[in-house]
Amino acid sequence: MLRYLLRRVLYAVPVLLGVSLATFILFYGIFPPEQIARRNLSAKNPTSQQIQEWLVAHDYNHPLPQQFKKHMTELMLLRFGRSDSTGEEIWTRIKTGAGPSTIIAGLVFTASLATRLFFALWSAYFRATYVDTWITLVSVFLMSVVYIVLVIAGQYLMGKVLRLFPLAGYQSGWTAFRFAVLPVIIGVISGLGGGTRLFRTFMLEEMNQDYVRTARAKGVPESRILFVHVLKNAAIPIITSTVLAIPALMLGSLVLESFFGIPGLGSYTVDAINAQDFAVVRAMVFLGTLLYIAGAILTDVCYALADPRIRLE
C-alpha cells in the first residue's frame, strides 16, 4: 500500500512538470510579461519606462531561459510569490480562503453523493415503472438547465421570495453553516440530474450481470440483491466517476463563492480574473492541478478497497 502510494506520487512528478511547462508556454510564451504589464498599468498608453519599472517591481525582468528556470523551480516548490495586482503574498490569501472553500466544497461533495445515490437506488429499484421514468425525465431536464440560471433563480426564490436563508455573505465559526446552506443546496441540485442518471446507468448495468441471475436463482430477495450485490459492484464505477466530479466541484466553488460572496479560493480566482492578475491565476491553476492529482490518487486507493480484483502493489 505504502509502496503503491509512493509510486503514484512519483508518477505525478512528470505530470506536474508538464503542467508547469504548459503554464509557462501560456503565460510567458504566448503572452509575454510586457503584455501583462500593459494590462495591469492603469495608464492607457504606458511608456516603456513605466513598463520596465512594473516588470522589475513584479520580478518579471529576466531573460526567457532564466525566467523559465525560476518559473519551474518556484512552482514545484509551491512558492507562488506575490499577486500582480495587489502585491499581496498569494499564500496568505490561499490560507484564509482554504477554510470557507473546504466547507462549501466538502458539503456539496458529500451531499451530492448522498442524494445521487438515493435517487439512483430509488430509480433502479423501481426500474421500468413510472417512478423510474419520472426520475430519469427530471434528471434530463435538470441536466439541461444552465448552472448560472440555477444559481440566480435559486437565490431569488429561496433567498428573496421565501426568505429562508441569507442572500449572500459569510461569517467564520459555526454561523458559517447558515450562510453555506443556500449555496450548498444549489450546488447539489446543479449536479443532481447528470449524477443520478450516471449512477442509475451503473446500477442497471450491474442488474444485467450474470451474478444477479445467480442470486435470484438462490432465492435472494430483490431488496438484498440491490443493496448488497448490486450496490457493492456499482460502487466501483461510482468511485471512478467521483474523480470526474472534482473539476465540477472547482467550477462550483468559482461560481457559488463569487455569487454568494464567500471569501474562498473561488472568489479569489474570480477576482483575479477581473483584475487581470496573472500571478494568482497561475498559482490557482497549479494548486487546482495538485488537488486534482491528490483526489485521483485517493480515488485509486478507494477503488482498490472496493474491488477485491485490484491489488495495490
Partner 1 sequence: MLDWLSNLFPVLVVVVGFWSVRRALRQPLWAEAWRRLKANRLALIALSVIGVYALVGFCDSIAWRNDKNANSLSLIDRAFSRPAEPTYSAPLANKTFGEPTPRALQGRHLLGTDGTGQDVVYLTLKGCRTALIIGGFTLLIATPLALLLGMLAGYFGKRVDDAVQYTYTVLDSIPNILLLIAMLLVLGRGLPQLCVALGITSWVGLCRLARGETLKHREREYVRAARALGISHGRILMHHILPNLLPIIVISVTLGFSGLVLSEAILSYLQLGVAAGTGSWGNMIDASRLELARDPVIWWNLAAASAALFILVLAFNLFGDALRDAIDPRLNS
Partner 2 sequence: MALLKVENLRTTIRTRNGLSRPVDGVSFEVEAGQTLAIVGESGCGKSMTALSLLQLVPEPAGRIQSGHVWFEGRDLLGLTWEEMRPLRGRDMAMIFQEPMTSLNPTLTVGQQIIESMTVHRTARGKEAHRRALESLERVGVRATAMKQYPHELSGGMRQRVMIAMALVNRPKFLIADEPTTALDVTVQAQILSLISELQKETGMAVLLITHDLGVVSEVADKVAVMYAGQIVESASARELFAKPLHPYTQALLASLPSRSRRGRDLATLEGRVPEATAWPAACRFEQRCLHRFAACALHAPKEAPPEASHPARCHLYDPQFNTTKVAAQPLVTRPSRIGTNTDGDSGSAAQTGQQGSRALVEVRGLTKDFPVRGSILTRAQYQRAVDDVNFSIPRGRTLALVGESGSGKSTVGLMILDLLDPTGGEILLDGRPVSARRGPDRFALRRQMQIVFQDPYASLNARMTVREMLHEALGVHSIGTKGEDRENRAGALLEDVGLSRSALDRYPHQFSGGQRQRIAIARALSVNPKFIVLDEPTSALDVSVQSQILNLLRRLQQEHDLTYLFITHNLGVVDYFADEVAVMQRGKIVEYGEANTLFDAPQQDYTRNLLSAVPTVVQ
Q: Does 106 bind partner 1 (CB under 8 A)?
A: no
Nearer to partner 1, 99 or 288 (CB): 288
3-state secondary structure of 83: coil
Q: Which of 259, 132, 109 is nearest to 187 (CA)?
A: 109
Return the residue of 214, 244, 273, 274 that touches partner 2, per CB under 8 A. 214
Minimum distance between the CB of residue 102 and partner 1, rounded to whole angstroms?
16
Helix ranges (DSSP H) in the chain: 2-24, 33-40, 48-57, 64-76, 90-125, 130-143, 147-154, 176-207, 210-217, 222-224, 231-260, 265-274, 278-306
Indicate whether 30 belongs to the interface with partner 1 (CB under 8 A): yes
307 binds partner 2 (CB under 8 A): yes
Q: Least separation, in Å, of the C-beta of 134 and partner 1?
A: 15
Nearer to partner 1, 100 or 252 (CB): 252
In the bound state with partner 1, the residue whose beta carbon lies nearer, of 155 and 233, is 155
Q: Strand pairing partners for 89?
A: 82
278 interacts with partner 1 by CB under 8 A: yes
Does position 19 bind partner 1 by CB under 8 A?
yes
Strand runs labelled E in the chain:
none
Q: How far apart are CA 198 and CA 242, in angstroms?
A: 11
Name the helix (H) or strand (E) containing 81.
Answer: none
- Looking up cell 525566467 gives 67
Question: CB burial class (10 A; 0-12, 13-18, 19+) of residue 37?
Answer: buried
Name residues contacting partner 2, limited to 115-174 (CB under 8 A): 128
Q: Is the Cβ of residue 43 or residue 128 nearer to partner 2 in the bound state?
A: 128
Nearest approach, Cβ of residue 218 and partner 1 (Å): 29
- Identified binder of partner 1 from the candidate list 76, 131, 146, 310, rule CB under 8 A: 146
d(C-alpha 277, C-alpha 284), whole Å: 11
Secondary structure letter of residue 58 according to DSSP = T
Each residue 247-286 as x (binds partner 2 by CB under 8 A) or -, in order, gives ----------------------------------------
Residue 31 is a binding residue for partner 1 (CB under 8 A):
yes
Distance CA 105, CA 253 (A): 7
232 touches partner 2 by CB under 8 A: yes
Site for partner 2 in 7-26 (CB under 8 A): 7, 10
Cell of residue 114, nine digits? 448522498
Whole-angstrom Cα distance, residue 211 to residue 56?
Answer: 68
Residues 6+ apart with CB under 8 A from 4: 301, 312, 313
3 vs 163 by CB, closer to partner 2:
3
Q: C-alpha angle 51/52/57, rounded to 5°?
A: 100
Residues 6+ apart with CB under 8 A from 233: 206, 209, 211
10 is a contact residue toward partner 1 (CB under 8 A): no
List interacting residues with partner 1 (CB under 8 A).
Answer: 14-15, 18-19, 22-23, 26-27, 30-31, 140-141, 143-149, 152-153, 155-156, 160, 246-247, 250-251, 254-255, 269-270, 273-274, 276, 278, 281-282, 284-285, 288-289, 291-293, 296
List interacting residues with partner 2 (CB under 8 A).
Answer: 7, 10, 128, 209-211, 213-221, 224, 228-229, 232-233, 235-236, 306-309
